Structure 1
Amino acid sequence: MIQWDDEIVSAIARRRSVIMIGSGVSRNSTNAAGKRPDTWVDFLNKASERAGNPRVVLELIQQRDYLTACEIIKNRLGVDVFIGLVQSEYQRPGYISADIHKHIYELDSSIVASPNFDLIYDTYATNASRGTLIKKDHTSDDLLSFVSGGETRLLLKTHGTADAAHNVIFTRRDYAEARTKYRLFYDLLKSLVLTHTFVFLGCGVDDPDIRLLFEDVQYAYGRMPLHYMTLPEGEVDEDILSVASLAMKVKFLKYSPDKGHEELTSSLSELVTLVESKRAQLAAEQKW
């Protein structure tokens, strides 16, 4: 089980956290036919087949240059076909939420963010909140109205969403264009990195958007809160983790990947209990 630091519990309890949920969380879900949403690599491999498996794309995927691989695939297929593939994989299958989504919602963080295109957590949280959840993405021009905390519960779709697939950030050009065209959004994310504790769940250390964002803040300001990322034991080389930890100021929390990463879900259930207890303590002592 993950041993949650007191700093994580306190940050979430005080609603000074951003819970960032990645594709590893979505992989806990299936649809009625038992299908799980593809990882980014799985999606690119299938899309590459549709594009004729060009050798350069296969090489780029092996080199983990996913942004360039996706750019070539999108150019070969055309925008409309590519958008159709995104929606066919991440929207139309009708994935059903899992216990892990329930636990994330129960943490009651004022801000949850996700680079996932799928609508799994979106749908669960919207239903559980009875429609009061606010959902925004990088194209939203009114974000400042919803990040101040209080009663607002905000879901940030940092790479866009399958139900507006024409705006998803998936290729190298998409990243470059978004950072220029939607600069306010990235400035806001940088502010959150400086003022909130990020807790990454089901994310990888090689997400280029997240990596660049945190490295920018770390080297520009020299100091920021310690952030946390859960990772399965043995998934990433320790030397790579050491470099990432220093560059992003992230502490890695390991758990066993056995039985479909069951330990992460159990650990999050325990975290909910710890956060609820901390909130009760803060309320009793009036130390908000």
Structure 2
Amino acid sequence: MDKMQELANAFSGETILFIGSGASRRSGLPFWRELIEWLKEYCDRLGGDITTADALIKKDKLLDAASELTHQLEQNNKSLADFFEEYEKNSAFRDAEPSEIHQLLGKLPSQFFVTPNYDLLLEKKFGQNDGFTVVRRGDKEGIGELLHGELDGYVFKYHGCIESPQNIILTYEDYNNEIHNYTDELDCLKTLVKTKTIVFIGAGLDDPDFKFVRDNLINLSGAERLRIWAFMSDCSDEVKYYKRTHGINLISYKSENNHAELLVKLDELVKNIIEVDESKKAAANMVMQEINITTHQENVEINLREVLVAANEEIIPLDEQILGFVALMGVVKKSECTDFLVGFKGNSEADVGNRIDYLVNRGLVKQTPHYLMSVKKRYSTEAAVGIEDDVMAYIAEREDG
């Protein structure tokens, strides 16, 4: 099975689309290097010394160049916020319109976006949809709602937005602070990377934003447990290396003709997802007919396990242990669930973590960063009956101990 088909099979309504600066390029917005060149021009106008920054740019040390130029701005009583508000080319971040890429994104069965981009393209494309929320850097309430699964659709702008330029992340110091200091934005990103299928679109292997996520979130989370995909230009030679080292499934395309092949790949993905969905619906319908399930919702829930199996979803005994324990407890700390399943039932911690992620992704269990919650459906109740005696023995042992 090729990578495109694998991604189509893994794609769901909860998949997170990570949109890099390349997706905005087709709307006339700058890549990283060009943005730093704009900052250099602005600094030069103010009379700042751009010699060091120019040398850093030539060496592709873009974050360092941004830091040096920001220092020069401060010497002239200016800030990055002033640059984004006063430099005329930055009006493109507000004025640009969605491109063909955004039209294709609208055909994918997910409205959950994460982006370091400062522009308003995703808001313009999806902002009119019911329940779609823009969560900007510094929005603690919005980040909390995102993590608790309370948003029907969102764009999480973790590096800031042109609408609030004082919060924009751009320099080496900004990135370093993000890595070494606990922030709501970083915690949110870690949770999403660990628990969701992530698809990068429009990010380059050398982009500072992609490197930040790769080195500080993906690698630290354990590559073997993650579901990360990335459309990257001209990277066919790195596909095996990235899968082995970082757990990232690269889908390479040619960058010529302004990345036109990326549009072809996205269109192919849309078609493959439609085919997969139709196949799963057909399989589920066959099972429902064979076991005489009516269309009444309660009966559909009773036989959810059979329907999932028919649709090529994997249900194993450990899943039923997790569902049953969470259903009995209602709301339970993840650590307590792990203690029961590993310490009492003898499962491996890695297997427990993987299956919890699986059940959350399938919507069979809800989670916050520290708690698991039952969805209170019939199949959870049935799982609880099957494990009730073990849970009572576990509670008794804990009380005695």
- TM-score bracket for the superposition, by shorter chain length: 0.7 to 0.9
Deviations 1:69-101 (A, max 9, x none): 112212222214323257842556611211210
Deviation at 1:256, TM superposition (A): 2.4
Correspondence for 1:229: 230
Residue 206 of structure 1 aligns with which residue?
A: 206
Cα distance in 1 for residues equivalent to 2:71 and 2:242: 32
Judged with a 3 Å threshold, the aligned counterparts in structure 2 of structure 1 residues 7 and 15 are, in CA distance, closer, same or farther, namely farther
Q: Tell me the residue number matched to 2:40.
A: 48
Q: How does 1:116-265 map to 2 (within 5 A)?
A: 116-127=117-128, 129=129, 132-142=131-141, 143-147=143-147, 149=149, 152-179=152-179, 183-216=183-216, 217-221=218-222, 223-233=224-234, 238=237, 244-265=242-263
2-structure distance, mates of 1:103, 1:28: 13
Check conservation: 2:94, 2:119, Cα contact below 8 A.
no
More helix, by proportion: 2
> How far apart in 2 are the matches of 1:15 and 1:107?
9
User: For the Cα contact (< 8 Å) 1:195–1:224, is it kept in 2?
Assistant: no
Structure 1 counterpart of 2:30, from 33, 38, 53: 38
Identity of aligned residues (%): 22
Question: Would you say 1:65 and 2:30 are equivalent positions?
Answer: no
Question: Any conservation in 1 of the 2:16–2:199 contact (CA below 8 Å)?
Answer: yes
**Aligned-CA RMSD value:** 2.8
What does residue range 106-121 of structure 1 map to in structure 2 within 5 Å? 106-121=107-122
Cα distance change on mapping 1:92 and 1:111 into 2, 3 Å: closer
Task: Give yes or no for the alignment of 1:9 onto 2:8.
Answer: yes
Amino acid corresponding to residue 164 of structure 1 in structure 2? S
TM-score by length of 2: 0.61
The structure with the larger Rg is 2
1:110 Cα deviation after fit: 4.2
2:41 and 2:150 mapped to 1: Cα distance? Answer: 48
Cα distance in 2 between the residues matched to 1:100 and 1:71: 32
Deviation at 1:214, TM superposition (A): 3.2
Shift of the 89–65 alpha-carbon distance from structure 1 to 2, 3 Å rule, reads same
The equivalent residue for 2:291 is none
Q: In the alignment, is the contact (CA less than 8 A) between 1:257 and 1:263 conserved in 2?
A: yes
**Aligned residue for 2:272?**
274
Deviations 1:157-196 (A, max 9, x none): 1211111111111112222334466623212211221222
Residue 49 of structure 1 aligns with an amino acid whose one-letter code is E
SS state of the match for residue 127, structure 2?
A: helix
Cα distance in 1 for partners of 2:230, 2:183 equals 26
Q: Residue 146 and residue 39 in structure 1: after superposition, are their counterparts in 2 closer, same or farther (change >3 A)? A: same
- The answer to whether the 8 Å contact 2:20/2:200 transfers is yes
CA separation of 1:55 and 1:76: change in aligned 2, threshold 3 A: same
Q: How far apart, in 1, do the equivalents of 2:123 and 2:88 lie?
A: 15
Between 167-176 and 273-282, report the one with greater CA deviation. 273-282
Letter paired with 1:48: K
Q: Distance in 1 between matches of 2:160 and 2:226?
A: 26
Shift of 1:213: 3.4
CA deviation digits over 1:17-67, x for unaligned, max 9? 2111111111112xxxxxx11112112112212322622101111222211
CA distance in structure 2 between the partners assigned to 1:90 and 1:182 by the alignment: 32
5+ residue gaps in structure 1?
Answer: 30-35
How many residue pairs were aligned? 274
2:122–2:155 Cα contact (<8 Å) kept: no
8 Å Cα contact 2:236-2:252 kept in structure 1: no
Write the distance in 2 (CA, Å) between the matches of 1:184 and 1:49. 33
Letter in 2 for 1:60: L
Q: TM-score, normalised by structure 1?
A: 0.82
C-alpha contact 1:169 1:178 (8 A) present in aligned 2:
no
- Whether the 8 Å CA contact 1:116–1:161 is kept in 2: the answer is yes
Q: Which moved more, 1:146-155 or 1:65-74?
A: 146-155
